[in-house]
Amino acid sequence: MAIMTGKEYIESLRKLNTRVYLFGEKIENWVDHPMIRPSVNCVAATYDAAAEAGDQGLAVATSSLTGEKINRFTHIHQSTDDLCKKVKMQRMLGQRTASCFQRCVGMDAFNAEFSTTYDIDEKYGTDYHERFKKFLKMVQEQDLTVDGAMTDPKGDRSKSPSEQSNPDYYLHIVERRPDGIVVRGAKAHQTGSVNSHWHLFMPTISMKEADKDFAISFACPSDVEGMYMIYGRQVSDTRKMEENADIDLGNKQFGGQEALVVLDNVFIPNEYIFMCGEWDFAGVLVERFAGYHRQSYGGCKVGVGDVIIGAASLAAEYNGVEKASAVKDKLVEMTHLNETLYCCGIACSADGHPTKAGNYEINMLEANVCKLNVTRFPYEIARLAEDVAGGLMVTMPSEKDFKSDTPVGRSGETIGEICESFFGGKDGIKTENRMRILRFLENICLGSAAVGYRTESLHGAGSPQAQRIMIGRQGSFEAKKKLAKKIAGITEE
Active-site amino acid positions: 100, 104, 191, 258, 293, 297, 300, 456
In total, the chain counts a number of residues equal to 493
How far apart are the C-alpha atoms of 491 and 213, rounded to whole Å?
A: 51
DSSP SS3 for 214: helix
Q: Would you give the distance in Å from CA 308 to the centre of its chain?
A: 17
DSSP SS3 for 238: helix
Q: What is the DSSP string of 411-467?
A: T--BHHHHHHHHT--STTS-HHHHHHHHHHHHHHHTSGGGGGTHHHHHHTTS-HHHH
Strands 360-361 and 353-354: antiparallel
Collect all residues with Cβ–Cβ distance below 8 Å to 273 and sequence separation of at least 6: 128, 131, 180, 181, 216, 217, 218
Max distance between CA atoms of the chain, in angstroms, equals 94
- Strand-pair partners of 26: 21
Helices (DSSP H) in 125-279: which residue ranges?
128-142
